[in-house]
Amino acid sequence: METLSCIIIGSGPAGYTAAIYTQRAGIETVICEGLQPGGQLTTTTTVENFPGFPEGIDANLLMENMRKQATHLGAKIWSKILVKADLETYPYILTFDDNTEVAAQTIVIATGATAKYLGLPDEKKYMGMGVSACATCDGFFYRKKTVAVVGGGDTACEEASYLATLAAKVYLIVRKPFLRASNIMQERVKNNPKIEILFETNTLGLFGDNGVEGVKLVYRKEENDERIYNLPIDGFFLAIGHKPNSELFKPWIKTDSNGYILTEGKTPKTGIPGVFAAGDVADPLYRQAIIAAASGASAGMEVEKYLAEKRF
């Protein structure tokens, strides 16, 4: 079995940045790209809050540049998916979807987070037929149509604002009587004439013979003035948060109640020697590309320190 000095699981800003640091430290590094090469940013359009780009930068270009920087420095990219991690004995054994196994002296977990769904059977029924968790990926199909976005956070507001540039009408379905999003995003949504916010509203189901044709909603569920009604829509977008991709590591690594990996103090240390966590999988608070990149840098530096101390 091949033994790797360093393997990075995940190819978002955290993974690529960790690789840039480890390669520059002379450590041969493999990046396992995973299910979504480039990570969550590849599902968005322009990034305006990553420093160094005064007019913003196309999100896919930003990720492509990070990938090029990592490979230019010598990192190898594997288009594989990790299916099992055994951190019981050292070096750690990782198994991939093509049935290959490697032994790893150090691991950086940079697996990010995945969009959450409401859990309605109709979401599965209409998946790809009007249900989406990525407005920037699928918004194009709803030009001049009517769509609904579920959620009241920054993501929901961002998705609604983006969809409003394409669709004729956007409903924002919010379960509370207020938005949780930052003030600037709230203002943007409230001032957009194409967006109508449906506060205190929950989704009961979807209907349609040929894909989504409408959503069944309940206003003020279980209150005296409860009202159940159907709203015709063409597309239904989820924007209710994310789930960290930590499942494979949970038998060994501590997580919080939502599954975010707990790291030691301000370091990316997981408590398992030589195993570090970076990016959104360990960040329930900020979940920003720049912060993921910074934590990837810390993880890369810790890998270097660990291998030097082990004298590999």
Contacts with ligand NDP by CB under 6 A lie at 118, 150-156, 158, 175-176, 180, 240-242, 287
Q: Are 201 and 195 in contact (CB under 8 A)?
A: no
Known catalytic membership, residue 157: no
Q: What are phi and psi of 203, to 5 degrees?
A: -95, 130
- Rounded to 10°, the helix 183-190/154-164 angle is 30
Q: Pick the closer one to ligand NDP by CB: 169 or 287.
A: 287
Smallest separation (angstroms) from ligand NDP to the CB of 176: 4
Neighbour-count burial of 205, counting CB atoms closer than 10 A to its CB (0-12 exposed, 13-18 middle, 19+ buried): middle
The residue written with tokens 């032994």 in the block is: 103
Q: In the bound complex, what is the minimum distance in angstroms from residue 151's beta carbon to ligand NDP?
A: 4
How far is it, in rounded angstroms, from Cα 292 to Cα 278?
6
Q: Closer to ligand NDP at the Cβ: 152 or 296?
A: 152
Contacts of 83 (CB under 8 A, 6+ apart): 95, 96, 97, 248
Minimum distance, C-beta of residue 191 to ligand NDP, in the bound complex (Å)? 17
Catalytic annotation, pick one of 58, 86, 134, 154: 134
Q: Are 67 and 36 in contact (CB under 8 A)?
A: no
Residues 261/237, Cβ–Cβ less than 8 Å: no
Which among 97, 98, 137, 256 is annotated as catalytic? 137
| Whole-angstrom distance, CA of residue 116 vs CA of residue 243 | 6
Nearer of residues 155 and 263 to ligand NDP, judged by Cβ: 155
Annotation marks residue 98 as catalytic = no
Residue nearest to ligand NDP (CB): 153
Of the pair 117, 312, the CB lying nearest ligand NDP is at 117
Taking the complex as a whole, how short is the minimal distance between the CB of residue 201 and ligand NDP, in angstroms? 9
For Cα atoms 46, 51, 55, give the angle at the middle one, nearest 5 degrees.
45
For residue 53, the minimal CB distance to ligand NDP (Å) is 14
Catalytic residue among 138, 234, 280, 283: 138
Closer residue to ligand NDP (CB): 32 or 174: 174
Residues designated catalytic? 134, 137-138
